[in-house]
Structure 1
Amino acid sequence: MGSLSNSTSPLPLALNADEQWSSKLLATCGLAAITFIAVSSWLSSSKEPPSLWDKVPFVSNTLQFLTNNELFMKRTIKLLEGRNLAKFWLGPIKFYLITGPQNMQTLFGRGNRVGNEDIFVHNVFPVLYKMPKEHVQRFADDKSGRGKVPAPGFEKVPQEKRFWASYEHVHTEYLARTAYLKPVIEVFRGIFSDVLEHNFKVGESNTISVIGFCKHEVTESAMKTLLGPTIFELNPTFLDAFWEFDDNVFMLTLGFPKWLYSRPYKAHDRYLGMIENYAKSAKAKFDWDGPQRDSPWEPHFGARVCREIAKWFTEADFLDQSVSGALGALLFAQNSNTIPTTMWMILELARDPVLLKAVKEEVATTEFIDSETGQRSFDIQKLATLPLLQSVFTETLRLRMNFNIIRQVKEPFTVDGFTLKKGSMLQAPMMVAHHDEAVWGSTGHPASVFWAERHIKYLEDTDDFGNVTQKRTFAMAGRPSSYFPFGGGPPVCPGRHFSKHEIMTTVGLMVSKFEFESIEWTQLDGSPSDRMASSDQRYCGAGAMPPDRDMKIRWKRIW
């Protein structure tokens, strides 16, 4: 849900360049370099915020950060108790951990004090987009910013040289605007509805795996919506290639040499090769001057955002492999966070019959009979504003999204009396903000536990006959500055609206069309489990954490 091509790339993706730098520096300079850095750090410690203890300086925290991020984050939370700033080292790179509502406002503000452009230049573009150095340099040389109005001092930069602004525009314009969003979500509704109606007959009972259903039927429907059906017509095994890439993306971004560990590179090549087949076919078959040139969705490219990305990258003279890389990153971002979130929402509903009944009743208020087709349907826009469904969605993201937002200081600013200099690296730990008991805790419902009604308030409502009832309203339990599953600031995830509507539509169709109940919790291999699902901590720090247990549900389609 978080968009990889913008602000919410999984944490390891933002660290690859630093990992390589760390490894090269330590290997080349050895103990002398470590000693020099350690002494320098000690001499400046009186002017610095508290540090996360490093048993072996510049090594222990780095290894734990990468191999046991859950434990690392628990130590971070403890260190930040009662303060808003601390520091730690990843190899020789000093990071400041920053938290607190006011500091988040600074971090996400539009004052051009922080940014993530260098992270993209050193990592995302060369690794995921396979962009050659000379093309990456175009972005590195562009200091005019992402906004429509150039940054101060760069007003004379020609529009064709404003690569960041064009890159930002092509994503935000065609992913976020209602004119393009609404028709594409209707396409998704149609595709997913057809899957449900084709695979499950009215009145028949079936048993499904929640994770399996989401990884196949839901994911394929989402992919056909974003890229169009051609991706599967040209590449019948594309879904397998995607999940193989998903399994290997972490190792890919760590930067191990291909000769040492080739599997991630092969998975990436296979995935992007299939997308390149699709992109070349779409560019050749699409009539760029025809009646569909302004269509929000058509079968060759799918959603207009894909067409516009391919068009801009091509016209700006980037390589075909960079076009494929951009589309592949967009598709990965769409599904890597959206699908686990969908899994969790279904699991929470299925394990709680009372909650499921309440959500079904709420979704029913959006249903209507289509005057043209005579078929039963529901209003997607109204669905997305339902109080209880929104609360379940918000609570799921609060608990299951887990990564550190990384920014670099562009203009100095002060936190807790410490001045953060230009070039300083920042991390805003989502786990610290999202699990803050003072912000999210409620009597009987600690912040660490899912509570469907955490973001619900009850207001009195009087009907025409004078009867007073309690009406649910959606009201976030905490401050927006303590909740940022989509990142924040000018590079906030532009796909957040698309993701929300896709998830809501998926859940809405399932609870509306089916009666279902939980049968049992299972291990991921299908064998029985002795407990319910928890967040899979292997994904801690990398985005949406999927469930570490599956559930079998029995359902019957009712219409």
Structure 2
Amino acid sequence: MLLTLIFVLLLIFFLYTLVRQLKGASNTSLPIPFVKNGCLPIIGHLIPFLKDKSKFIFECQRSYGSRFFIELFSQRMIFLLDPNDWSPVIRNPNLSLPVKDFGTKTFGISRGFLDDEPIMNEIHRYFKLYLQSTESLDFLTARFSKCVRDVMIQDRARIGSHVWHPYSLLELSHRMIFEASGRTLFGDMNPLLLEKEFLLFDKKFHYFAAFLPDFIYSLFLRREMNARSSMTTYFNAHPHSNNESELVHHRAKRILEAESRQPNDLGASHTSIFWASVGNTIPATFWSLFYILRDPHALQKINEEICTHLPPFSFSDPNDKSFEFWTSGNIAKCVYLESAINEVLRIKGTPMVSRKCYQDTQISLADGTIIPVRENDMISLFPEVVHSDPNYFPEPEIYKFDRFLGKTTDAIKGLLTFGSGKTICPGRHFAKNEIKICTALILQNIDYEFLETNMNINCVKNRIGFGIAPPDCDVPIRYRYKE
């Protein structure tokens, strides 16, 4: 048995070496270097890439410059780290976000349903209609404000008023956003029924989004697969709820009508929306509070504008309608809060903007270099490199809450926090409003104390590349509700 295994491994290694030699000519024909360090047979650079993307990419940049490529299994991944090279990638019609791979691998949506182009176009239209129009965004924003207030009322009744309660900052951020966001989008459902499954799935989310071979999920991620399946089953059994948002209502209705739909597609699609609504906003709120609460000048400026533009809620009057004034327009008047959160997204936002090649093409870079791109190649931009570059952001290691004061982030070169081009995150405006509202309501209604002041907090390394990575450890605090 052992000899057979050794023979099979040697055969695989021989075939891999042969394939590498045959591919060598095409690799060397690229006018950018191939990363040799850390490349293993069969899997390529998978281990260092998954372990710590940020460290790996920064090391590659130091060794090879702003242009290089790696291999993940049999797929080439070309990195372009200079923002001057990004535009040709974003505009090339043969390069696009691998939405179908992501939907199938990450959430279990059937490929046949994702291949139904008329349905996908209509669903994408709903995102624009119900997440980006002023009227719809104002409705969702005010509703989320009310839902956070309801969570605070329950929490205040649970711990008592004026009583210091030991907790942690990530737990507080999770508590304020998880239930409120779920109710805002899905209506009168209880998101807490899915909390255990969500946390289990979210902790290993990076493996699902890595598009690994199916057998890896079956062998090593069974608990997480079951957790995802439980969320899908719940949403399949509850396709609609009272007071659900227009977005969820119309998406569910259209999915149920689709002939290409498989039995689990509605539940899997709802699971993807549910994760998208909280998977990044919870850690983003944590980091916003972490930086703002420790900066007295930021606290003063932000509290002043919150008091001016956002009326306080009543915790005792059930008919209080103050949340109706928490509109996108009024929230946008809090310019220091806007700048402070944009600065958090610069420092802790670590998205990897990737495009898959669906037809052989070429891209012309800023200096005239032509890169031939083969079908199935991936082109990746990694904005964290630019976010940390003093040539673009002076003193990038320092949190400056007013760095973006009076600036439109879409026009700032090198700043990519929600993706780019036609595949930019359609829910980015609502997501930012969620972060602002939660931060503002906590500042407005809660006293806090840090129980430890000299903690060294970093991002969870293997979550880098998927938006806002959570902290690698929580921050102990105690809090109480104000008068």
- Fold shared by both chains (TM-score > 0.5): yes
Instruction: Say whether the 8 Å CA contact 1:342–1:503 is kept in structure 2.
Output: yes
Partner of 2:75: 93
- In structure 1, list runs of 5 or more residues that go unmatched: 1-25, 143-161, 283-298, 457-473, 522-529
In 1, distance between residues paired with 2:60 and 2:333?
Answer: 35
Residue 187 of structure 1 pairs with residue 143 of structure 2: yes
Partner of 1:76: 60
Residue 421 of structure 1 pairs with residue 373 of structure 2: yes
Instruction: Say whether the 8 Å CA contact 1:96–1:425 is kept in structure 2.
Output: yes
Partner of 1:115: 96
SS of aligned partner of 1:484: coil
Partner of 2:362: 412
Partner of 2:400: 451
Alpha carbons of 1:388 and 1:320: their partners in 2 closer, same or farther (altered >3 Å)?
same
In 2, distance between residues paired with 1:328 and 1:426?
Answer: 28
What amino acid maps onto 1:421 in structure 2? V
In 1, distance between residues paired with 2:311 and 2:279?
Answer: 33
Alpha carbons of 1:197 and 1:133: their partners in 2 closer, same or farther (altered >3 Å)?
closer
Partner of 1:552: 476
Partner of 1:471: none
Query: Which residue, out of 152, 163, 188, partners 1:229?
Result: 188
Partner of 1:493: 425
Partner of 1:326: 269
Query: Which residue, out of 334, 353, 368, partners 1:386?
Result: 334
After TM superposition, the structure 1 = structure 2 runs for residues 397-408 of structure 1, keeping only pairs within 5 Å, are 397-408=345-356
Aligned pairs, number: 456
Stretch of structure 1 that moved more, 184-193 or 408-417? 408-417
What amino acid maps onto 1:300 in structure 2? N
Residue 40 of structure 1 pairs with residue 23 of structure 2: yes
SS of aligned partner of 2:422: coil
Alpha carbons of 1:222 and 1:491: their partners in 2 closer, same or farther (altered >3 Å)?
same
Query: Which residue, out of 264, 267, 270, partners 2:227?
Result: 267
In 1, distance between residues paired with 2:111 and 2:458?
Answer: 42
Query: Which residue, out of 8, 33, 45, partners 1:61?
Result: 45
What amino acid maps onto 1:427 in structure 2? S
Alpha carbons of 1:356 and 1:532: their partners in 2 closer, same or farther (altered >3 Å)?
farther
Aligned Cα root-mean-square deviation (Å): 3.0
The share of aligned pairs that are identical, in percent, is: 18
| 1:113 Cα deviation after fit | 4.5
Query: Which residue, out of 394, 407, 414, partners 1:475?
Result: 407
Partner of 1:459: none
What amino acid maps onto 1:475 in structure 2? K
| 1:376 Cα deviation after fit | 6.1
In 2, distance between residues paired with 1:314 and 1:28?
Answer: 49
Alpha carbons of 1:368 and 1:399: their partners in 2 closer, same or farther (altered >3 Å)?
closer
Partner of 1:102: 84
Residue 216 of structure 1 pairs with residue 170 of structure 2: no
SS of aligned partner of 1:437: coil
Between Structure 1 and Structure 2, the one with more strand by share is 1
| 1:203 Cα deviation after fit | 4.4
| 1:183 Cα deviation after fit | 0.9
What amino acid maps onto 1:435 in structure 2? S
| 1:301 Cα deviation after fit | 5.8
In 1, distance between residues paired with 2:312 and 2:289?
Answer: 26
* TM-score (structure 1 length as normaliser): 0.74
Partner of 1:439: 392
In 2, distance between residues paired with 1:28 and 1:165?
Answer: 46
Partner of 1:506: 438
In 2, distance between residues paired with 1:27 and 1:482?
Answer: 46
In 1, distance between residues paired with 2:201 and 2:284?
Answer: 19
What amino acid maps onto 1:37 in structure 2? R
In 2, distance between residues paired with 1:68 and 1:312?
Answer: 40
What amino acid maps onto 2:235 in structure 1? I
Residue 316 of structure 1 pairs with residue 258 of structure 2: yes
In 2, distance between residues paired with 1:517 and 1:334?
Answer: 28
| 1:313 Cα deviation after fit | 1.3
Instruction: Say whether the 8 Å CA contact 1:353–1:517 is kept in structure 2.
Output: no
In 1, distance between residues paired with 2:381 and 2:125?
Answer: 25
| 1:208 Cα deviation after fit | 3.1
Alpha carbons of 1:180 and 1:402: their partners in 2 closer, same or farther (altered >3 Å)?
same
Residue 242 of structure 1 pairs with residue 198 of structure 2: yes
| 1:67 Cα deviation after fit | 2.2
In 2, distance between residues paired with 1:231 and 1:97?
Answer: 42
SS of aligned partner of 2:99: helix
SS of aligned partner of 2:470: coil
Deviation track 1:486-513 (CA, whole Å, cap 9, x = no partner) reads: 1111111101011011111111111122
| 1:47 Cα deviation after fit | 4.3
| 1:43 Cα deviation after fit | 6.6
